[in-house]
Amino acid sequence: MDANKRQRYEKISAELTRLSGGRENIQGVAHCATRLRIVLKDNDLADLKRMEDVDLAKGVFVAGDQVQIIFGAGLVNDVYEVFAESNNMKNMSLSDLKTVANQKMNPLQRVIKALSDVFVDIMPGILAAALLTGISGVLGNLDFVKESETLFSINTLINIASGAIFGFLPLAVAYSACKRFGGRPILGIVMGCIMLSGSLTDAYAAAQGTAEVTTLHIFGLGVKLVGFQGGIIVALLMGFVTAKLDNFFEKKVPEVIRLLVSPLLTTLVGALLLFTVIGPVGRGLSTGITNALVWMTQNLGVFGYAVFSGLQQLVVITGLHHIFGAIEAQLLADTGRNFLNPLMSVAIIAQGGAVLGYLVRHKKSTKTRELCIPSFVSVMFGITEPALFGINLRYKFPIIGGCIGGALGGIVVYFTDLAAVGFGTTVVPGIALADPAGGGYINYVIAHAAALAGGFIMTLVLGKFMDKLPDAPDEKKEIKEAKENEAAFGADDKNGEVRETAEEEVFYAHAKGQLIPMEEVKDETFAGRVLGDGVAVIPEEGKVYAPADGTILSVFDTKHAVCFASAQGTEILIHIGVDTVNLQGKFFTAHVKDGDKVKQGQLLIEFDREQIEKAGYDTAIPMIFTDMPEGNILEKTAPGGIDSGKVAGILKRG
């Protein structure tokens, strides 16, 4: 991670720590594909509303007693790394986090959450298989591919690759389930190998009656030697059982023979249970789930489709939507067609339509555009968290409009008999999975267009009744706050030189030394104003002072930086030196702590300037205005010698 990003993430981490109720309130932290997940001792101490305004955060919610902050794919990994490190939780395992969170869940929540975790872990492989299946399907219908020996051969290899991944999916599920439930993952792989052993009759051939099945008799109980191809539910159950057996024998077998005997007993007992109990039970559950879904399509008809696609995104709000992966996989294994995938896909694009509807109603708002446009782009690739938590759920009426649009898309899916030949991807890339039979690709586009339009139009309609359009009221509120601030800060300053009003806010030098413009700081992040505009001081002494009256928001663990909010609410980051985070607090002494009220000129941090310079670090101290609204101007004092009693800059509100 480069220094520019790290410094930005450090500020985000400090803000999240403060808004979480402080380090002492944080029990654990982990992340999934898009969300930073934090377990708190007391959720009531967290300010979830203000978390939504943290830099780069797209939404905040609580699910399974975890505070989950949406950052998006890729970004969340970097934010997690810095946040975990700053809170001394770098080595905390995901299992530890889940144990803490699970203590606050009811039994049903724990089961569903565990199933979700299993499929999150293997989702990259599922996505690869799904996309390869779609690509192979598209290429296989093109005449020029069939006529070209090379292209036909390449498509054949693609088909083999996708088929292999799906063919061995039970093995992957058994591995992930065993790992999730605390067993050694290799034993999950071993059990998956047994399930798909070549010594067993292929399950599909046995179902079609084209292969002979051998039956063994154990204590009078008939055991059919049939493989578990497509046995996703069985694999889930076996992963769980294998993990529990592994833990049991690891505790009971004497240490002197544990290495040999424990895995032997786990595999032996697990295999016996697979063929005598788990296999039959799992097959029964699989058949029941498939039959229930098929019954829904045959008996509830268009109503069943509409209800599912209309409400599916509400499941995403809980963070438990990955459970559908097991159902889709089983549906494909049993019927060869997956009608749930297009239903979920239209539900997703409908929420994108709701985002566009909200954007149209607030098109003059720069902040709304910055939030809505990236969220809609994410929706196009099947990721709805930014849209759901950043916009639709926050403002309520768009989520309703999106659900209605999803139901409309489900109706189109029903009447066009649209289905998928894989699972794991939706919306734009999901078209590759559409079953081409009966004009499937065209029907896919029509269904999504209907859902998008439905979500868009219904959000506009509902907005007329439910949207308060807060722009005008906000202006009145700002005028009121400005008058209050003017009354509070209208007196002359201590030198009688400057008068602070609601329109102007004075900030004094935060250190004694040479005042320089930000572009002269020897760091791209500061010089390029990535974190915001400001001024910097090359210090003559190792002391940092408060630039105004205000509150300490956060002092970094390494004491090299402090976040500060003035009495008028302006947030500032004071960063001592460049890359000094690497010193891990050496040479720094903090004289304030999080939440302290301070006066202008009060000593905040002392540091050993000479030792830091000897260690090879630049000691320039930027003071960055991190939340300066658009239109505001920072008038800076001319470069030169300065001390903490002199004005460094005046913030003028536009």
As annotated, the active-site residues are: 32
| Gap between the Cα atoms of 370 and 395, Å rounded | 16
Task: State the Cα–Cα distance between residues 612 and 609, nearest whole angstrom.
Answer: 5
End-to-end CA distance of the chain: 36
The pairing of beta strand 221-224 with beta strand 215-218: antiparallel
Q: What are phi and psi of 384, to 5 degrees?
A: -105, -10
CA distance 412 to 418: 8
The full 3-state SS of 82-118, as one line of letters, equals: HHHHHCCCCCCCHHHHHHHHHCCCCHHHHHHHHHHHH
Could you count the other beta carbons within 10 Å of the beta carbon of residue 295?
A: 11
Cβ atoms within 10 Å, residue 383: 21
Rounded to 5 degrees, φ, ψ at 529 are: 55, 35
Quickly count: other Cβ atoms within 10 Å of residue 557's Cβ: 20
Q: How far is the CA of 213 from the CAs of 180, 205, 331, 386, 541, in angstroms?
A: 34, 10, 24, 51, 85
Closest C-alpha to 430, from 141, 143, 138: 138
Do 51 and 69 contact (CB within 8 A), yes or no? yes
Beta-sheet pairing, 550-555 with 561-566: antiparallel
Half-sphere exposure of 180 (CA within 13 A, CB side): 26
Residue among 237, 235, 236, 261 at smallest CA distance from 248:
261
**Degrees to nearest 5, angle at CA 589 with 584 and 593:** 95
Spacing of C-alpha 494 from chain mean position: 49
Token pair listed for 455 = 């979500």
